[in-house]
């Protein structure tokens, strides 16, 4: 009886076909449904029938022709709600509103680590073969569709970092001894690697700015480590005295001012901290042994703090 009804609808007026297309569909539970790139409409209809999304392949194809959907259906992965009608199904397939998966890039990752992470992500396609410039990627949570190209995702990260940096640079403190947005990015990358404590970022920034203003070398370990590893994995050991004497474009124990470039991809909070440092007289800081830092205005105080830190290590 149903087959007779279907055949009757096909040969009925378009009004009857539209009526059928707006009826509740047979799908009992929501499912993820994927349309492959270059998949034919006949193949799609067969898959929909197999999963119980539509009642008839013939009606599906007939309605596509009636509504002119032949070139509008987009490949990708879609979440199909239960009882979805044929009309809503085709609207969904032509909208491109695919299932999105979240990927989170933590603050402080190097470009090498981000590329390695993206290349191993099972939802993405394509291969990233060249490293983006260090510091040019914005750490954040991004939503991607299955099959989205990895290079396209990197492009989104780069655009966001450019926007963040431009806005913060334009609103920076006017007395900073920095010459360009890139200088701000370099400083922010050092702050990012020096502390994960939000309340410390602007204080760390003040120490670095104070040292630059006074013509003192920054002498920060993360820049030395980056000079040795270029961000390609961890050093795997503590720094030793010969490391501090090894010449590189990132060894701030030997260089004056900022290193050659960023040493990681800093987040927005570290860039903000670099743009508006706390107003202090601090010139030194050392780990406090509890995850934070001790700050001091002169070398005598600093040496006492170093002694406290070493005592906590023993």
Kindly write down the DSSP assignment for every residue of 166-205, as one continuous string.
HHHHHTS-TT-S--SHHHHHHHHHHHHHH---GGGHHHHH
Residue at token pair 């005592």: 311
Residue written as token pair 């998949």: 39
Q: State residue 13's pLDDT score.
A: 66
Task: Determine how many CB atoms are found less than 10 A away from the CB of residue 232.
Answer: 13
Domain range for 134:
100-160
Looking up residue 22, the CATH number of its domain turns out to be 3.30.1490.480
Mean pLDDT by 10 residues, the chain (314 residues): 48 72 91 91 94 92 88 91 94 91 96 97 92 97 94 97 98 96 98 95 97 96 96 93 95 96 98 98 89 90 84 72
**What's the residue count for the chain?**
314
Same domain for 228 and 143, yes or no, is no
The pLDDT of residue 304 is 86
Domain shared by 45 and 122, yes or no: no
Quote the crossing angle between the two packed helices 14-21 and 86-95, to the nearest 10°. 80
Domain boundary among 133, 160, 187: 160
CA distance 151 to 104: 16
Q: What per-residue confidence (pLDDT) applies to 162? A: 98
Sort 267 into a burial class: Cβ within 10 Å, 0-12 / 13-18 / 19+.
Answer: buried
Our count of domains for the chain comes to 3
Name the domain boundary from 64, 90, 116: 90
| Predicted pLDDT at 305 | 85
Q: Are residues 209 and 269 in the same domain?
A: yes
167 domain residue, yes or no? no
Residues 207 and 279 in one domain: yes
* Same domain assignment for residues 229 and 287: yes
- Residue ending a domain, among 71, 90, 109, is 90
At residue 1, the pLDDT reads 43
């Amino acid at each position: 009886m149903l087959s007779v009804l279907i055949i009757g609808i096909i040969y009925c007026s378009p009004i009857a076909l539209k009526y059928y297309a707006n009826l509740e569909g047979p799908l009992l539970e929501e499912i993820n449904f994927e349309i492959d790139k270059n998949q034919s409409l006949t193949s799609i209809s067969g898959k929909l029938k197999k999963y119980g999304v539509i009642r008839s392949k013939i009606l599906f194809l007939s309605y596509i022709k009636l509504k002119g959907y032949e070139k509008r259906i987009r490949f990708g992965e879609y979440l199909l709600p239960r009882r979805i009608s044929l009309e809503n199904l085709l609207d969904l397939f032509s909208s491109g509103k695919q299932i999105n998966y979240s990927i989170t890039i933590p603050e402080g990752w190097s470009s090498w680590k981000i590329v390695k992470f993206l290349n191993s992500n099972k939802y993405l396609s394509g291969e990233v073969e060249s490293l983006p410039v260090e510091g040019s990627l914005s750490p954040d949570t991004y939503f991607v569709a299955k099959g989205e190209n990895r290079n396209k995702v990197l492009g989104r990260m780069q655009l966001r970092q450019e926007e963040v940096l431009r806005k913060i640079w334009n609103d920076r403190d006017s007395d900073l001894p920095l010459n360009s947005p890139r200088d701000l990015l370099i400083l922010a990358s050092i702050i990012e690697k020096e502390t994960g404590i939000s309340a410390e970022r602007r204080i760390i920034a003040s120490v670095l700015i104070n040292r630059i203003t006074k013509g003192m070398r920054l002498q920060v370990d993360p820049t030395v480590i980056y000079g040795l590893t270029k961000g390609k994995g961890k050093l795997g050991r503590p720094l030793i005295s010969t490391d501090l004497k090894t010449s590189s474009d990132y060894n701030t124990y030997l260089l004056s001012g900022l290193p050659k470039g960023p040493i990681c991809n800093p987040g927005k909070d570290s860039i903000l901290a670099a743009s508006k440092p706390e107003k202090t007289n601090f010139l030194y800081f050392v780990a406090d042994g509890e995850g934070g830092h001790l700050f001091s205005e002169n070398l005598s105080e600093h040496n006492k703090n170093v002694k406290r830190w070493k005592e906590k290590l023993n």
